[in-house]
Amino acid sequence: MPGLPDPLETLIRALLRWPGIGPRSAQRIAFHLAREEDGELRALGGLISGLPDSLGSCSRCSNFSEGDLCPICLDVRRDDATLCVVEQPDNLAAIERSGAYRGVYQVLGGSISPLRGVGPEDLRIETLLERLSEGKIRELILATNPTVEGEATALFIARKAAPFAVSITRPATGLPVGGELDYVDKGTLARAFEGRQQVPDD
């Protein structure tokens, strides 16, 4: 943008890399920050720069976590015989919001995509299989995104999990094609979970 001081320009460019932020929102946020008081800005900066130290990932499910285990893995009331596989913590948060699920999770960290150079070994599939081998889990829900990459990832995992003889399901269709789990509204997500279907063997 012409006529903007360098610090603002740089900030706008940094904000543009954030998800869902277009040029107009980036400018609005940057201008808002520029008008903010010193104390507020330093507090916000501290929050952001402190993240690497304050936030880690759960040693069991890889959800974001402050301590070794995330609140879900620590919660004894959760049903640990049901395991739901998601791509990212965002998806987990969306499912939690829907209130339709009381089991535990495994966050994969993405989906298989040869074009982006992501293979099965780059996802936490080995961790998942180890958890299955402990013998406690009876149902595995493959809630990867309804994209071709999510679908292929689910099928890959279903094949790998077959020897453990657990029930393998996938949330019902009706999710928008090519969408992402966290953009789906609560009701739709809850229905998709309730109507989950067995993944057929090939």
Partner 1 sequence: MLLTLRVRAFRNLALQEIAFGSDLVLVTGANAQGKSSLLEAVYQLATTRSFRSRDPREAITHGEDALEIGGEISQAGSPSVSLSIGRARGRGIRRLCVGQYIVKLEEYLEYLPALVMTGESTRSIAGSPSERRRYMDRATASALPGHLPDLAEYRKALAQRNQLLRQEGSDEELDPWDRVLASVGERIAARREEQIRAWQELLPQWLDLFPEGRASHLFYRRALPRSMNSEQGASTEKASLAEGLARARMSDRRTRVTSVGPHRDDLGIEVQERDLWRFGSAGQVRSSVLAITLAQARRVRQLRPNAEPVLILDDVDSDLDKTRFDALLMAARKEGQTFAATSKPSLTKGLLARKLSVEDGNILSDDESGSATGRP
Q: Collapse the DSSP code of 168 into the 3-class scheme (helix H, G, I; strand E, B; otherwise coil) and give the result.
A: strand
Partner in contact with 56, chosen from Zn ion, partner 1, none, beta carbon below 5 to 8 Å by kind: none
Q: How far apart, in Å, are the Cα atoms of 64 and each of 72, 84, 123, 147?
A: 10, 16, 16, 23
What is the Cα–Cα distance from 151 to 67, expressed in whole angstroms?
A: 32
Choose which of 11, 26, 63, 125 interacts with Zn ion (CB under 5 A): 63
Partner in contact with 149, chosen from partner 1, Zn ion, none, beta carbon below 5 to 8 Å by kind: partner 1
Binding footprint of partner 1 on the chain (CB under 8 A): 112-115, 119-120, 147-149, 151-156, 159, 177-178, 202
What's the CA angle centered on 106, arms 183 and 74, to 5 degrees? 105
- What is residue 86's DSSP assignment? E
Choose which of 60, 124, 170, 196 interacts with Zn ion (CB under 5 A): 60
Partner in contact with 70, chosen from Zn ion, partner 1, none, beta carbon below 5 to 8 Å by kind: Zn ion
Tell which positions 73-92 bind Zn ion, by CB under 5 A. Answer: 73
Q: Give the DSSP per-residue string, 90-159.
A: HHHHHHHHHT---EEEEE-SS--BGGGTB-GGGTTHHHHHHHHHTS---EEEE---SSHHHHHHHHHHHH
Q: How far is the CB of 131 from partner 1 (least distance, A)?
A: 20
Cβ distance to partner 1 smaller for residue 67 or 119:
119
Cβ distance to Zn ion smaller for residue 71 or 120:
71
Partner in contact with 109, chosen from partner 1, Zn ion, none, beta carbon below 5 to 8 Å by kind: none
Q: How far is the CB of 66 from partner 1 (least distance, A)?
A: 35
